[in-house]
Amino acid sequence: MKKVRLATVWLDGCSGCHMSLLDMDEAILAVAKKVDVVYGPLVDAQEFPKAVDVTLVEGAVSSQDDLEKIRTIRLRSKLVVALGDCAVTGNVPAMRNPLLTRKMLERIYIDGVQQTPGVPHEGVPALLRMAVPVHEVVKVDLEVPGCPPPAKSILFVLSELLEGRMPDLSSKVKFG
Ligand code: SF4
């Protein structure tokens, strides 16, 4: 049987959604038999591959780097799943949105900093003016709320998708 090509991506998130994904315990073994994990934090692949069946996206879109990544992901994925409240609503990363980006960075990196104050510019992606949910940038096929979504909900989502069904999450997930 042809395996489903699965990718997982971590944009502006805390990794909690990926931790919840791994928290499926032994059920992950049954999932693993049906998928090839072709990209993700646990896979040694530098470039997002082509012809991905399902991509789980953790985190909001907060930087230029996130923006380019999610556009590539959309082009190369049949199904894009926003996993967790940050990807679905912006959640924690979007808390900075009412602030001016420059002022926020100065507050963090300069105000009251004793040693080598200065906003880093080299080797870090430029922040977008606002952190936004994934659906504001690209089409999302499924949104899975939760901070993080419980492991059993992620298992349900994957099990349904692997059977070729779009999961009905109406009674299975909640925000927060
Ligand atoms: S939804 Fe919650 S657990 Fe997931 S990345 Fe955001 S803050 Fe972390």
Ligand 1 center to 95 CA (angstroms): 13
CATH of the domain at 46: 3.40.50.700
Comparing CA positions, the residue from 156, 149, 137 lying closest to residue 66 is 137
170 is a domain residue: no
Is the per-residue pLDDT at 173 higher than 80? Answer: no
Ligand 1 atom having least distance to the Cα of 85: 1
Number of structural domains found in the chain:
1
Residue 14's domain comprises 4-96+128-162
Residue range 72-118, pLDDT digits in tens: 999 999 999 999 999 999 999 999 999 999 999 999 999 989 999 99
75 is a domain residue: yes
Mean pLDDT is lowest, of 26-35, 57-66, 69-78, 89-98, for: 26-35
Q: Using CA positions, which residue lies closest to atom 2 of ligand 1?
A: 147
- Whether ligand 1 lies within 6 angstroms of the CB of 16 is answered as yes
Helix (H, G, I), strand (E, B) or coil at 49: coil
CB-CB contact of 32 with 1 (8 Å): no
